[in-house]
Amino acid sequence: MAGLRYLSGFGNEFSSEDPRCPGSLPEGQNSPQVCPYGLYAEQLSGSAFTCPRPANKRSWLYRILPSVKHKPFTAVPCGDLTETWNEVEPDPNQLRWLPFTIPKSTEKKVDFVAGLHTICGAGDAKTRNGIGIHVYTCNTSMVDRCFNNSDGDFLIVPQQGEILVTTEFGKMMVEPNEICVIQQGMRFSVDVFGETRGYILEVYGAHFELPDLGPIGANGLANPRDFLCPVAWYEDRKVPSGYTIINKYQGKLFACQQDFSPFNVVAWHGNYTPYKYNLKNFMVINCVAFDHADPSIFTVLTAKSTKPGVAIADFVIFPPRWGVADHTFRPPYYHRNCMSEFMGLIKGHYEAKEEGFLPGGGSLHSMMTPHGPDADCFEKCSTAELKPERVAEGTMAFMFESSFSMAVTKWGLQTCQRLDKSYYQCWEPLRSHFNPNWRPSKQ
């Protein structure tokens, strides 16, 4: 959307005023007796008051009416959005989904909230420890409706179609190959411009942060300056017919009515904001000598658990890069993992499985489930000439990796009817190359 402005940085202490109301931020204090322009002061806390400063998240919003002015919440149908992890029996198999179906607008109007479907997850929002992986498939904009997640943070990965996200902090246009994060408690609405699809990583009990760089040094991977948060924008709009606030609370959906737009924040300041990031800005680090580095070097954002070095969830990408490793099998290695790995494809062809893993689809390799390159990839790359080459050109695959053993929902296994039951066959042609007479060559 032409003309949208952003503030640059990750976790900064930002401040922003809608230029239509200069001086709307109070000077020298957060909650004056009378705010400029007759606004209400409201704090949005994303952490406990007593968290250490590096982890303390809050913002002050100066709004035309406070968010407390609404009718009571009542339960509404959740559709395919769920936190029920025992609907069906566990399935430890390698799972792959064909591109998830987008409803046709000529058949049924579906907005972002109505188009949410949970694929898998684990944990519990009530105990503030868990994860949910969803897709959204929609074809129409939210009208006089907004969404609020009281359970956790949404990391949204558009795959088809850009989305215009209106938040209490301002507007963000998010296109495929970009991501955005809407943190716990932030109200937002989504406009779409046609048939639209994407992925969502939800975490309970932690916020996303940049991974520690260790010996990489001070720079690299996703640099803080490339993250963008919106600038203040407000609408003073009455909605006599009723504006609907949809609240995800303890895994269920509730709705309430009010007679005004919630996007009435004239100014704000703080370090608890929504933000977006363009994946093309990721500074890729890769092996330049031999062997295949672990995919953790491609981590964009992490939501840490209480155990050092172990994440509730990591958001990892596999961007275009150079492959130069000598005497090395360059694609990902065969693997069994104490983590769960959900993969999606935004565009292009994933190097380890060029057939069957398609944009808009996904795969899940659960805890300790074997996975790795298909037979064609192994045979081709075991004999390829090892010259410098571009890897994943025109491609962007990603991974939601979690320390949780995730359960797949009934929608994911059955209702969506997109599960590729032939997935296991991509490894069936693997054959033994064992030669007991092999001896090291003499130098």
Write down the pLDDT at residue 52. 95
The total domain count for the chain is: 2
* Residue 193: Cβ within 10 Å count: 12
Query: Is 423 assigned to a binding site?
Result: no
For residue 412, being part of any structural domain is answered with no
Indicate if the pLDDT at residue 1 is higher than 80. Answer: no
Write down the pLDDT at residue 2. 56
For residue 435, being part of any structural domain is answered with no
Query: Is 371 assigned to a binding site?
Result: yes
Query: Is 335 assigned to a binding site?
Result: yes
Give the CATH number, domain containing residue 272: 2.60.120.10
For residue 58, being part of any structural domain is answered with yes
Domain that holds residue 113: 6-279
Residue pair 168/148 in contact by the 8 Å Cβ criterion: no
- SS3 state at 400: strand
Identify the band that residue 442 occupies on the pLDDT scale cut at 50, 70 and 90: confident
Per residue in 376-399, pLDDT (tens digit) is: 999 999 999 999 999 999 999 999
For residue 429, being part of any structural domain is answered with no
| 228 and 159 share one domain | yes
Between the alpha carbon of residue 77 and those of residues 100, 183, 334, the distances in Å are: 22, 23, 42
Per residue in 185-196, pLDDT (tens digit) is: 999 999 999 999
| 114 and 247 share one domain | yes
Higher pLDDT, 307 or 354: 307
Indicate if the pLDDT at residue 438 is higher than 60. Answer: yes
Per residue in 20-44, pLDDT (tens digit) is: 999 999 999 999 999 999 999 999 9
Residue pair 229/174 in contact by the 8 Å Cβ criterion: no
Between the alpha carbon of residue 373 and those of residues 168, 329, 424, the distances in Å are: 44, 11, 12
Please state the rounded mean pLDDT for residues 94-103. 97
Kindly provide the residue ranges of all beta strands, DSSP E only, lying in 295-379, ordered along the sequence: 299-304, 311-318, 321-323, 340-347, 362-365
Residues forming the active site: 292
